[in-house]
Structure 1
Amino acid sequence: MDEHTMINSDVSPILLLLPVCFSGGFAMGIVYFCTIRITADMIVSGQRPMLVIALAIGRLALLVCGFALALQAGGFGILVTLAGVIGGREMIIRIKWGARP
């Protein structure tokens, strides 16, 4: 596959990829920020320091892999995935921490 085929919008319809990117980003945001909460609680209580490190590495690996997949959809894919992550973050903040707009 050459670079012209990879860039051609007819190969991967962007209108189908963007909702998938947003949904994936939203799920990544929920998992990422829930894991931050769990990690913070474990640090405060002094439990299992190796699990805290593993959770930190795991959540960063999740974001890297998710954005690497979104990169296949191009620049719009990454931006929509980022919007999904931020949306997941907002949902977790409002539900878990009780923040109001």
Structure 2
Amino acid sequence: MGEMRSKALEAANFLKAISHEGRLMILCYLVDGEKSVSELEDLLAARQAAVSQQLSRLRREGLVSTRRQGKTVYYSLSGDRPRKMLETVHGLFCAPSD
């Protein structure tokens, strides 16, 4: 029972992290490859502070990774879990209806 509770908590934290529209949009954009903060600002039409706050939460939850090149920080999906979840969400909500 202890392992199931631990896995349930892990799943709940994962779902909480992607339950924000802005964070979900960031993850969707990162499916196509890494993006800088400024690229994400443009794609989301959001201010740098708001994007950085959401990226910080995603990084804290282990959903995104960073790479620094000079002064620019690039973000990408971290592992298969976010990608698999986004594929499922896309299939349920974004695929053309028949």
- Looking at secondary structure, tell me which structure has more helix per residue: 1
Fold shared by both chains (TM-score > 0.5): no
* Higher Cα radius of gyration: 1
Calculate the TM-score normalised by the size of structure 2: 0.42
Q: Which structure would you say has the larger RCO, counting Cα contacts within 8 Å and 6 or more residues apart?
A: 1
Calculate the TM-score normalised by the size of structure 1: 0.41
- Looking at secondary structure, tell me which structure has more strand per residue: 2
